Structure 1
Amino acid sequence: MTEQAQVRRYAGSDAGTPSTDLIPPAPPWRVFDRSAASEPDPFRTTEAMVDAVNAALTLRRPLLLTGRPGSGKSSLIESVARQLDLGPVLRWPITSRSTVDDALYRYDAMGRLYAERLNDGEPTAISDYLRLGPLGTALLPNSRPRALLIDEIDKGDIDLPNDLLNVFERGEFEIKELARLKNQGPFEIQHADSIEYSPIAQGRVVCREFPFVVLTSNGEREFPPAFLRRCIRFRMPDPREKELTAIVTAHLGEAAVGAATDVIKTFVQRSKDPGAVATDQLMNAIYLVTAQAPDEQERRRIVDLVLAKLNSDNA
C-alpha cells in the first residue's frame, strides 16, 4: 500500500510539467490479462451454494442465480470452471435485442456477397463467413462440458426464456445454411471464444456433455413456470458484516480490513435499504482509501462517491 500511495495522481490542474510516472496499479478484479495474474480471484461459497452447483451439474440443468448486484452471481461460474477444469468461461451478456439464433451462430451473408463481388464473382467458402456464438460453442460435442454464463437474462425479450428452453431440452441445433448443403462438408466452423475450429456435418450440432450453464437475474421480472421448473434456482445471500470482512480479507488482505473497518460499517448501514449498494462498491471504496491514504475529509468524500446509492439518481 505504501508504494501505491507514492504513485503520482491527477492533481486537478494543468499547471506544471507533465508527469511520466505510472498511474496507480489496478485493483486485482480489474486486471484483464489473466495470464499475468499470480493467483485466481478468491471466491467464497456457502454450503447451500455448493449444493445448488452440484445439483445443476448432476441433473444437467441450468443454474438460475438471483440476488443483489455485486453479490457474486457472475463470479461463481469462474470458480466452478477453474476447479473442474471446464476451460475458459463462455459469456453471453443479454440485452433487449438478444436472440437465441445469434447466440448459436452468425452468418455474414453480406460480407460474403461483397467478397464475391470484389473477386469478380468467384465463389467463396461459406465456412469463412460462419462463426459459432457462445451458446453454439457450448453445445459442441466435447468430451468435457464447457461453462456458459448467460448474464442478466431478465433484460432480454419476454420470449427469450422459452426460446432457450427448446435448445436446452434438445441439446442440439441446426445451422440452416449448412443443412442446405447436405452433400458437402463437413465444414470447419470457428468457435466463439478462440481461433479453434470444429467440423460440422450436414449443419447439425449435438452436444455430448451438456454444458454447465449459469443464468443470472437481478429480479427485474418473472419467468414462465415451464422455464423455472427446468432450472435449479438459487438466490445469492446478502453478505453480513462477518462475511463482508472475510471477502475483503480474501481480496485485499487483513491490513486493508483493519484500515477500513469504518467503510465496512458504513456499507452495512446503507445496505439495509434493499438495492441501495452492491458488494463491489465496497471493494472499490476500500481499495481507494487504503491505496491513496487520504486525510479524513478526503476519505469521507471518497466513501460517499463510491458508495452512492444505486436506487437513486442523486444519492
Structure 2
Amino acid sequence: MTAKGPVKGHENGDSGADAWRLFRGDGQTRTTVFPQAPPWRRFGGSAGGGTPRPRPYLIGPAEADVVNAALLLRRPLLVTGQPGTGKSSLAHAIAHELSLGRVLHWPVNSRTTLQDALYRYDAIGRLRETNLRRDREGPAAGTGRGDRAVAPEESLGIGSYVRLGPLGTALVPSAKPRVLLVDELDKGDVDLPNDLLNVFEEGEFEISELARLPEDHARVRVMTADPQTWTEVVRGRVCCSEFPVVVITSNGERDFPPAFLRRCVRLDLPEPDEERLRAIVRAHLDADDADGAAGSGLEGVDDLMRAFLARRARGELATDQLLNAVFLRRGGVDLDAEGLLDAVLHRLGGTV
C-alpha cells in the first residue's frame, strides 16, 4: 500500500522527526503505509513487471544537435561520459519524444556475443520435444499424417525454438525505427565492436537454422524480444526497412577500433553545471508537487546543491544522487543524521 508524500506519524504510530522512519531495527512488527516512490522509481506495469515511467530529460542544444545528426544519418550514436550523466536515459528520452515505442535493451558484459543479440535457437528444447513426441506417437511420429508426409520442421514448429534478441528485433521491418540501447559496450569482448560492423552496415542477418529449411517452409513465425510478440521470417533472413536508432553507451574503459568509430556519431555528455542541475531537479520534482507550485522543487535545498558540487569536485557523483537527496529532504528526512548524507552522496569511484 502506498500513499502520496512523506509518511505521516499517525499512519505508522510515530510522530515528529521519526515519522519518516519505516524500518526501526528493533524487531517489532508494525502496520506500515509506504509513501509514494520517487518519480523516477515508479513503474507502470503490473506486479512483477514494467519500466519506469518517462521523466523529463534535459541536455544542451549542442548535445541535442549531435543526436539529431545521428538520427538523420541513420548511424549509431556512441555516447560517452561519467557515470550518472544520463547516457542510458538518452535512449529512453529519444523513444519517448519521437513516439518510437518500447526501448530494446542489450546489456553487455564480458561474456556477451553478437549471437546473443541477434537470436537464440533452443536446439536442446527442440530435441527434447522430438523425443517426447516420438514416445507418445511411436516411431512414425513426424514422418506422416494420413497420406501426406509431414516434415519434422512442420510437426515440431521450429519457430517456437527461435527467439530474436534485442538487436535482431530492432532489425525486424517496421514503419518506424525501433530504439536499441547497447549498454556499456566497452565491458564486452575486445572483438565485439568489430563483430557488429557488418550488421550495422548491411542492416540484416541470417538465421541459419531457418535458411536451411525447404522451400515449402520458407515462412516461419518466430518470437521476438518484445513480450508476447511474434514476427514472420522469410527464408531465414531478417532485413530492416528503417535502420534502428542505436544508442551505444561507454564509460571509456577501453578504446574502440577506428573502423567501428568511423561508423558512429560520437556524443560526449558533460557533467551538468549548477544551472543545469537546478533545471533537472525542477523537471523531475516540480511536476510531482500537489500544488504544482513552480520552483518548489528547489525550496530549501541550496545546502544540498553546495554539498553535491563540493563532493563532485573531489570524486565521482551521479546526478540522480542529488535527486535522491532532494527527494528525501522534501519528504521530511533529516539528512544531517549521522552518516545519512554520506550514504546518499557516496563516491562512485575510488576508496569507499
In structure 2, distance between residues paired with 1:261 and 1:96:
42
Are 2:327 and 1:287 aligned? yes
Are 2:97 and 1:56 aligned? no
In structure 2, distance between residues paired with 1:112 and 1:259:
62
In structure 2, distance between residues paired with 1:105 and 1:38:
26
| 1:297 pairs with one of 313, 317, 336 | 336
Instruction: Name the structure 1 match of 2:308.
Output: 267
| 2:207 pairs with one of 168, 175, 195 | 175
Are 2:25 and 1:26 aligned? no
CA contact (8 A) 1:188 1:198 kept: yes
Give SS of 1:4's match: coil
For the structure 1 residues 153 and 38, does the alpha-carbon distance in structure 2 shift closer, same or farther, using more than 3 Å as the test?
A: closer
In structure 1, distance between residues paired with 2:238 and 2:52:
37
In structure 2, distance between residues paired with 1:233 and 1:25:
38
Within a 5 Å distance, the mapping from 1:126-205 to structure 2 comes to 126-183=158-215, 184-205=217-238
- Counterpart of 1:289, as a letter, is R
- Counterpart of 2:306, as a letter, is K
CA contact (8 A) 2:4 2:36 kept: no
Cα deviation, 1:3-44, whole Å, max 9, x if unaligned, reads: 4131640112113xx222222321111112269999730111
- Counterpart of 1:252, as a letter, is L
Aligned residue pairs, count = 309
How far off is 1:94 after superposition? Answer: 0.6
- Counterpart of 2:23, as a letter, is Y
Give SS of 2:314's match: coil
How far off is 1:194 after superposition? Answer: 2.2
In structure 2, distance between residues paired with 1:2 and 1:136:
41
Give SS of 2:83's match: coil
CA contact (8 A) 1:171 1:207 kept: yes
Are 2:345 and 1:307 aligned? yes
- Counterpart of 1:301, as a letter, is G
Cα deviation, 1:163-209, whole Å, max 9, x if unaligned, reads: 11111011100001001114113001111022121111110111110
How far off is 1:308 after superposition? Answer: 1.0
Give SS of 2:65's match: helix
- Counterpart of 1:113, as a letter, is L
| 2:6 pairs with one of 4, 7, 12 | 4
Q: Percent identity?
A: 50
CA contact (8 A) 1:289 1:302 kept: no
In structure 1, distance between residues paired with 2:198 and 2:6:
52
Moved more, 142-151 or 284-293: 284-293
Moved more, 251-260 or 194-203: 251-260
- Counterpart of 2:63, as a letter, is M
For the structure 1 residues 92 and 119, does the alpha-carbon distance in structure 2 shift closer, same or farther, using more than 3 Å as the test?
A: same
How far off is 1:2 after superposition? Answer: 8.6
Give SS of 2:341's match: helix
In structure 1, distance between residues paired with 2:328 and 2:5:
14
For the structure 1 residues 271 and 86, does the alpha-carbon distance in structure 2 shift closer, same or farther, using more than 3 Å as the test?
A: same
**Please, which runs of 5 or more residues in structure 2 have no aligned partner?**
13-21, 136-140, 142-151, 287-294
Give SS of 1:55's match: helix
In structure 2, distance between residues paired with 1:214 and 1:38:
19
State TM-score, norm by structure 2. Answer: 0.83
CA contact (8 A) 2:182 2:249 kept: yes
The runs of at least 4 consecutive aligned structure 1 residues that moved more than 4 Å come to 34-39
CA contact (8 A) 1:132 1:189 kept: yes
Instruction: Name the structure 1 match of 2:17.
Output: none
Instruction: Name the structure 1 match of 2:239.
Output: 206
CA contact (8 A) 2:44 2:52 kept: no
In structure 1, distance between residues paired with 2:51 and 2:80:
29
Within a 5 Å distance, the mapping from 1:98-117 to structure 2 comes to 98-117=112-131
In structure 2, distance between residues paired with 1:3 and 1:169:
50
| 1:244 pairs with one of 277, 296, 302 | 277
CA contact (8 A) 1:189 1:200 kept: yes
How far off is 1:136 after superposition? Answer: 0.3
State TM-score, norm by structure 1. Answer: 0.92
CA contact (8 A) 1:94 1:150 kept: yes
